[in-house]
Amino acid sequence: MIRFIGGILAAGALALSGCAATGTEMQASFDGSAPEGSPVALNGALSIADGRLVGEHGDPVTLRGMSLFWSQWGPQYYSRETVDWLVDDWKVTAIRASIAAEGQDSALNHFDREIAKASTVIEAAAANGIYVVLDWHAHRNHPEEAERFLTEIARRYGDLPNLIYEPFNEPLRDNVDWSRDVKPYHERMVAAIRAIDPDNVIILGTPSWSQDVDIAAQDPVEGENLGYTLHYYAGTHKEKLRAKGDAAIGAGLALMITEFGLVNADGDGPLDMESSQSWWDWAEANGISWMNWSISDRDESSAALKPGTPPAGWRAEDLTESGTILRSRLRATAGFAEE
């Protein structure tokens, strides 16, 4: 494993900054131990056993954190400063890097630029001792580009204990079939990643915007340390979608909520706190990790930050209603009083 000292680099080593290190530089820079008391120090490399996410000693692990917004539209938050702030002030145990894979201004056409953003977040998460979900944030199938990106990440960071892969954010619903279209894609990505990184957890998306986990449970991808993501937006998705999650859990799948909102499925509209509480209760009862959408200053109610908010140092007046609630809940679940 790549080594680090108490969350900071050894004297004379390459500093972690907005300029990402290469995989070789990373191995030369870190000494190996996560910061004392951090999630990675406590749990080590994660795996999946008996339908649950577990740490290296076999104990169940539930991660709670935030997802960054599409990387081409929120690049200022793909920074060491943002990750540090979310760890120190919001008490996240995981962060999701949503690397854009749709449109011209995305990783499809700007590979090196988006690799650099992913690298910055992965390295910052490693230095802080939290887990990081590397999300290939696509709605459509781009197998060649996805494989190139994911295997480059695996070559650079596959030895880190805190890395989790999400190879397909939200496959669409119309004319998309799990067994015909999405499962073969995942089999290709899993094989490519496993050729380099044999054991870090991989979280798989399903059709209907990663909601068809019950269908995937009838024909799962073969392999070790494979879980499935379930996405929801509380204003739109309620008991019916939780029932699909229950069916998947009952069939033995390990679930992770890598994206959810307190609002409607379009990312906007009023906060539905009754439904949100039902979802939180369900996730906690089942030990399901979650990451909220999103750290963004976009003018929509799912954004945690108000327009123009800087990458770190946020004050109460910088947070939206959603951001205020998420910060409070993250701090509470980590055992910290409100400030």
Residue 7 maps to a domain = no
CATH at 207: 3.20.20.80
pLDDT exceeds 50 at position 5 = no
User: Of the residues 222, 259, 338, 339, which is catalytic?
Assistant: 259
Percent of the chain with pLDDT over 90: 89
Residue 5 maps to a domain = no
The question of whether 147 is a catalytic residue gets the answer no
Separation in Å, CA 53 to CA 167, 272, 338: 18, 28, 28
pLDDT exceeds 70 at position 4 = no
Tell me the CA end-to-end span of the chain in Å, nearest whole number: 37
> 33: pLDDT confidence band, cut at 50, 70 and 90?
confident
Percent of the chain with pLDDT over 70: 90
Which residue range forms the structural domain that includes residue 108? 23-333
How long a stretch of residues is the chain?
Answer: 339
Euclidean distance between CA atoms 190 and 171, whole angstroms? 16
Does residue 79 contact residue 120 with C-beta atoms inside 8 Å?
Answer: yes
294 prior amide bond cis, ω within 30: yes
User: Of the residues 102, 166, 170, 321, which is catalytic?
Assistant: 170
Residues 327-338, mean pLDDT to the nearest whole number: 93
**Which alpha helices (H) appear in the chain, and where do they start and end?**
23-29, 39-43, 80-85, 111-128, 143-157, 183-194, 207-210, 213-217, 239-250, 273-285, 321-333
The question of whether 259 is a catalytic residue gets the answer yes
Residue 39 maps to a domain = yes
Instruction: Look at the chain and report how many structural domains it folds into.
Output: 1
pLDDT value for 32: 54
Residue 131 maps to a domain = yes
Tokens of 299: 């003018």
